[in-house]
């Protein structure tokens, strides 16, 4: 794959993540089956100019995040100290859900998952949200990679 094709593919995957975030946002507003939610998005809001692989990746992210929401939310809950998921900003909790889905169910490198989540948060949320999201995702990444978090390490030294 040429460098130009690789950059296009990365841009398309980024766009797919943004579309998936919009699907998850809508799912927080209106309770529907995941497949119906995704179909409604593409029918009413989806960018018709997106190529098929981009649309499929967005749909995979959204469907997987919705279908595994309970397990994903539990992983987030364990690392979001003093924050209930229901009290998080809708965008922020759904950026987290997408990232955790990629961590747990896809083969995207963890660093890419975090970078993409932060880029999307910068676009759709606030500066403070990027710090919040980064902290939670880094702790979850450490859990996945079997590394003790700084907090765990600090508490074991006391």
Boundaries of every domain in the chain: 3-148
| Residue 4 near residue 45 (C-beta atoms within 8 A) | no
Query: Whole-angstrom Cα distance, residue 104 to residue 42?
Result: 25
What pLDDT was estimated at residue 141? 95
Helices (H), the chain: 3-29, 34-44, 52-67, 69-79, 90-105, 110-124, 127-145, 150-156
**Higher pLDDT among residues 155 and 47, named by residue:** 47
CA distance from start to end of the chain: 51
pLDDT tens, residue by residue, 27-73:
999 988 999 999 999 999 878 888 999 999 999 999 999 999 999 99
| Residue 61 near residue 24 (C-beta atoms within 8 A) | no
Burial class of residue 1 in the structure, from the number of CB atoms within 10 Å of its CB (0-12 exposed, 13-18 middle, 19+ buried): exposed
What pLDDT was estimated at residue 70? 96
pLDDT tens, residue by residue, 78-111:
999 888 999 999 999 999 999 999 999 999 999 9
Q: Which fold has domain 3-148?
A: N-utilizing Substance Protein B Homolog; Chain A (1.10.940)
């Amino acid at each position: 794959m040429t460098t130009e094709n690789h950059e296009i593919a990365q841009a398309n995957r980024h766009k797919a993540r943004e579309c998936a975030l919009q699907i998850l946002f809508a799912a927080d507003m209106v309770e529907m089956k995941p497949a119906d939610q995704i179909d409604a998005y593409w029918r009413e809001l989806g960018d018709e100019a997106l190529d098929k692989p981009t649309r499929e990746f967005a749909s995979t992210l959204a469907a997987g995040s919705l279908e595994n929401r309970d397990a994903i939310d539990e992983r987030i809950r364990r690392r979001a100290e003093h924050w209930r998921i229901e009290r998080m900003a809708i965008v922020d909790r759904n950026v987290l859900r997408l990232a955790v889905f990629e961590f747990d169910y896809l083969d995207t490198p963890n660093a890419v998952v975090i970078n993409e989540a932060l880029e999307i948060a910068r676009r759709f949320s606030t500066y403070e949200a990027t710090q919040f999201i980064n902290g939670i995702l880094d702790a979850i990444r450490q859990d996945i990679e079997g590394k003790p978090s700084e907090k765990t390490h600090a508490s074991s030294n006391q």
